[in-house]
């Protein structure tokens, strides 16, 4: 079920706060000063701001947004919830201009900042992710693609690249487990030396690795005990189980977003856009993730999960 954009959490600050507290504190308020869980009293009254709690262990006051971006940014929490929901649910991404219009708030610059901060939160979720893709009986497809530049708009003679090469563009390496997750990386160039450390660290040694005939990916893929490749340049796309259709499908979603929604992505920010598309793919409906669950996960990324809490003595 999709989330209703008229939900009060997107329009009302009080409802937004209650929603955020429930997500952030499933076991009751957590004191950011001493780490005590579920031992706080909400201070209610005309003189205190809503959502202010007092820790019964250390006696200090706190709120659910204390120490987070939501407190520092001075943007209403319900606008953050709306922006996060919109970006989590839009399959092809959402430009800062579109986000600005839909938020009905702030400036273009504010919307741009929010969009980038939400992407960064999606990226932080992955840095926590442990363990390699694949394993016994599983298949991971590896391939590279090139994005950026406006090569197609340049006169033929001025284009820096020919054919399918990537000169003047940014190189992206993706690893996709079939019926599983994707991990994408912005790499300086497509060489076996650049691919190898990523592939070795992120793909389980017992995985059946699938590549096309492209030099570097095939070279690194062939270092696995189980490796297959298809020869696209010879017109071969599927040979039994050997194909790279999963990763081609992923690249096509990513490119429709990059060229259709964002038009241009700078080298500096490419890793954030990759995180955004990886995030939506990994938290997709086919894996049982609803729009609501996906947005909740993105909010966690923004708050940061590195804070560690302990139970009261
Ligand atoms: Zn405390």
pLDDT digits (tens, 9 = 90+) for 59-70: 999 999 988 888
**Does the structure show a pLDDT above 60 at 173?**
yes
Å from CA of 60 to ligand 1 middle = 6
Check residue 126 and give its pLDDT: 67
Å from CA of 311 to ligand 1 middle = 11
Å from CA of 20 to ligand 1 middle = 20
- Region 1-10: what's the mean pLDDT? 77
Å from CA of 295 to ligand 1 middle = 29
What are the DSSP E strand ranges found in the chain?
Answer: 40-42, 53-55, 61-62, 139-147, 170-177, 182-187, 208-212, 226-230
Produce one character per residue of 261-287: b if its CB has 16 or more CB atoms within 10 Å, e if not.
ebeebeeeebbbbbbbbbbbbbbeeee
- Region 237-253: what's the mean pLDDT? 88
Å from CA of 37 to ligand 1 middle = 8
Å from CA of 24 to ligand 1 middle = 16
**Does the structure show a pLDDT above 80 at 309?**
no
Å from CA of 52 to ligand 1 middle = 13
* pTM of the shown model: 0.85
DSSP state of 261: I
Å from CA of 17 to ligand 1 middle = 20
Å from CA of 234 to ligand 1 middle = 67
Å from CA of 39 to ligand 1 middle = 8
**Does the structure show a pLDDT above 70 at 162?**
no
Percentage of residues in the chain with pLDDT exceeding 90? 59
Å from CA of 195 to ligand 1 middle = 47
- Region 177-206: what's the mean pLDDT? 95
**Separation between Cα atoms, residue 119 and residue 302, nearest integer Å:** 9
- Region 217-235: what's the mean pLDDT? 88
The residues facing 230 across adjacent strands are 212
- Region 92-107: what's the mean pLDDT? 93
The residues facing 176 across adjacent strands are 141, 182
Provide the mean pLDDT of the chain.
86
**Parallel, antiparallel, or unpaired for β 208-212 and 139-147?**
parallel
Highest mean pLDDT of the ranges 123-137, 244-258, 259-273:
244-258
Q: Which residues surround ligand 1, an ion (CB under 5 A)?
A: 31, 33-34, 36, 55, 57-58
Name which residue leads in pLDDT, 178 or 148: 178
Å from CA of 97 to ligand 1 middle = 42
Check residue 165 and give its pLDDT: 52
**Separation between Cα atoms, residue 31 and residue 37, nearest integer Å:** 6
Check residue 233 and give its pLDDT: 73
Check residue 9 and give its pLDDT: 95
Å from CA of 275 to ligand 1 middle = 35
Å from CA of 265 to ligand 1 middle = 44
**Separation between Cα atoms, residue 198 and residue 47, nearest integer Å:** 55
Check residue 63 and give its pLDDT: 94
**Separation between Cα atoms, residue 163 and residue 80, nearest integer Å:** 43
Check residue 131 and give its pLDDT: 81
Nearest to 161 by CA among 171, 175, 173, 174: 171
Check residue 308 and give its pLDDT: 35
Q: Which of 91-100, 102-111, 157-166 has the lowest mean pLDDT?
A: 157-166
Q: Which of 30-34, 59-63, 266-270, 276-280 has the lowest mean pLDDT?
A: 266-270
Å from CA of 64 to ligand 1 middle = 13
For residue 148, name the pLDDT band (cuts at 50, 70, 90). Answer: confident
Å from CA of 44 to ligand 1 middle = 18
């Amino acid at each position: 079920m999709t989330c209703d954009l008229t939900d009060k959490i997107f329009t009302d600050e009080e409802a937004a706060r209650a929603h955020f507290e429930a997500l952030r504190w499933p076991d009751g308020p957590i004191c950011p000063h001493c780490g005590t869980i579920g031992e706080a009293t909400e201070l209610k009254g005309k003189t205190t701001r809503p959502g202010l709690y007092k820790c019964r262990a250390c006696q200090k006051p706190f709120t659910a947004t204390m120490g987070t971006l939501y407190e520092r940014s001075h943007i209403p929490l319900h606008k953050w919830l709306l922006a996060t929901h919109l970006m989590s649910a839009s399959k092809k991404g959402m430009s800062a201009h579109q986000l600005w219009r839909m938020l009905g708030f702030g400036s273009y610059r504010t919307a741009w900042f929010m969009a980038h901060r939400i992407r960064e939160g999606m990226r932080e979720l992955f840095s926590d992710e442990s363990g390699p893709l694949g394993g016994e009986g599983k298949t991971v497809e590896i391939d590279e693609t090139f994005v950026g530049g406006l090569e197609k708009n340049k006169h033929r003679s001025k284009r820096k690249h020919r054919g399918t090469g990537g000169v003047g563009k940014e190189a992206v390496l993706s690893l996709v487990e079939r019926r599983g997750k994707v991990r994408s990386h912005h790499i300086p160039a497509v060489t076996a030396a650049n691919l190898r450390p990523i592939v070795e660290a992120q793909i389980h040694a017992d995985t059946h690795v699938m590549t096309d005939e492209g030099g570097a990916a095939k070279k690194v893929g062939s270092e696995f005990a189980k490796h297959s490749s298809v020869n696209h340049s010879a017109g071969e796309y599927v040979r039994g189980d050997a194909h790279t259709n999963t990763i081609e499908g992923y690249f096509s979603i990513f490119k429709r977003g990059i060229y259709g929604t964002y038009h241009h992505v700078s080298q500096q920010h490419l890793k954030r856009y990759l995180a955004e598309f990886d995030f939506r793919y990994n938290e997709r409906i086919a894996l049982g993730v609803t729009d609501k669950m996906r947005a909740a996960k993105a909010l966690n990324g923004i708050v940061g999960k590195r804070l560690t809490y302990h139970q009261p003595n």
